[in-house]
Amino acid sequence: MSANTTSNNPVVQAVLSGSAPQPARMAAARGMLPVPQDVLLELLVALRADADEAVARAADETLNSQEAATLLGVASAQGTAPAVLSYLASRPGLAREVQESLALNASTPDEAVAALARATAEGPVLELVSLNQQRLIRAPAIIDAVLANPARTSEADRRVRETRREFFEKERGARQVAEEMRARGMSAAAEFVESAESFDVEGGLSLDDAWLIAQHIEVFDVDVDDSWLPSERYEDLLDETFEQRQAAAERLVTEAAAEGGSSAAPERVSLIRRIMLMKVKDRMKLGMKGDREARSILIRDTNKVVSQAVINNPRITDQEVEAIAAMRTVSDEVLRLIALNRGWARQYPIIHNLARNPRTPLPTAMSILPRLHAKELKALGQNRNVSEAVRRQALRLATARGQ
């Protein structure tokens, strides 16, 4: 027997250490020692394994004679010895209230909760067990025990399955995929998959989808600079519903078909749908790490943080920015930021496209006009797609140049 006990009573220590004589152990087994109830139960649980069969049998009988109210108090107390809580968890025929107290008691060992979850016939008890997600994560054997118990309720089943999927299956699956990607030399993609939130979750993407998206990742974490995203913009990363992401995907598929003059290529459609079904944070990361094809999709994202991530991708080219400056399906904030970039603002095709784009914010367009050639100013003055203010100012500048 173990000498470990919550009591400093020398008699208790002697009984538990096995050094007490048989009459003293028998007195303890019969509940005749003048000690508090919790200490007595600790003694009785230990004496059930006494080498003397008579002492062990007497301890078992005394335990079985304990009243339900006593057991409830012991099961609820935070200071109850773990050995006693473990004994109660494995004891058949306990009242439901005692079982519930054991499930709620933070001092109950995880192994005891797993035993309780396997044996109980009370669905509400299993629901209480399933509520403690921290314990489920710490001791996944409890999840298995709940799922193996035919008495589990649908709510208990749902909770433990969600925990298993989110904290075990997702992590294990993503880790295995990432390891295989590294083995194939796809280290940048492995980094992305490991930190992504969109794969192998309820209503999310599969790990097969991760492989498809991984083909379009070319930037390493160390090369990503997210200093452009101030803390006050983090609220823009709040996730949309699955239905909202689905609607955004279909919108981009329609736009892609319209641009091509017919239906878009099936491979392109598949990639659009999978990218746009990712959560906002993952789309933002992909915007900064993705290749040209991924960037061409995400620049049209209605979430400004995602589209801005694209123009902060270290691999984006001047030719891409020139094309973006002419797009009428991009955020006006993206166009404003392009104009503020010194390197891009020095390139005439880019500022010319910005000036002609009706999506360009009016102050930005007006600041660009003095840098355009007279020929482009005159044409802009007759362009009905831009605002009247831009047309008037363009004609004014063109006239002044002619004089």
The per-residue pLDDT for 116 is 96
- 120 in a structural domain: yes
CA pseudo-torsion sign 194, 196, 201, 206: negative
- 311 in a structural domain: yes
Q: What one-character DSSP code corresponds to residue 312?
A: T
**Same domain, residue pair 15 and 159:** yes
Residue range(s) defining the domain that contains residue 149: 10-163
pLDDT tens across 58-70, in order?
Answer: 999 999 999 889 8
**Same domain, residue pair 14 and 156:** yes
pTM > 0.75:
no
Give me the mean pLDDT over the 74-99 stretch. Answer: 92
Q: Which of 258, 284, 315 is the last residue of a domain?
A: 315
Query: Using 50, 70 and 90 to split pLDDT, how confident is the model at 3?
Result: very low
**Same domain, residue pair 111 and 249:** no
Q: Which of 263, 294, 315 is the last residue of a domain?
A: 315
pLDDT tens across 348-399, in order?
Answer: 999 999 999 999 999 999 999 999 999 999 999 999 999 999 999 999 999 9
- 304 in a structural domain: yes
φ, ψ (nearest 5 deg) of residue 350: -70, -50
**Same domain, residue pair 300 and 323:** no
**Same domain, residue pair 67 and 180:** no
φ, ψ (nearest 5 deg) of residue 290: -80, 165
CA distance 281 to 291: 17
CA distance 88 to 98: 9
What is the count of structural domains for the chain? 3
**Same domain, residue pair 311 and 321:** no
**Same domain, residue pair 227 and 158:** no
- 23 in a structural domain: yes
- What angle do the packed helices 207-214 and 187-195 form, to 10 degrees? 140
**Same domain, residue pair 213 and 310:** yes
**Same domain, residue pair 321 and 285:** no
- Cβ–Cβ under 8 Å, residues 142 and 135: yes
**Same domain, residue pair 216 and 334:** no
pLDDT tens across 136-148, in order?
Answer: 989 999 999 999 9
- Cβ–Cβ under 8 Å, residues 147 and 177: no
- 5 in a structural domain: no
How far from the centroid of its chain's Cα atoms is residue 173's Cα? 14
**Same domain, residue pair 156 and 180:** no
- 3 in a structural domain: no
Nearby residues of 275 by Cβ (< 8 Å), 6 or more positions away: 213, 249, 283, 286, 294, 297, 298
**Same domain, residue pair 220 and 305:** yes
The per-residue pLDDT for 195 is 87
- 220 in a structural domain: yes
pLDDT tens across 257-281, in order?
Answer: 887 665 668 888 889 999 999 999 9
- 299 in a structural domain: yes
Q: Which of 315, 337, 367 is the last residue of a domain?
A: 315
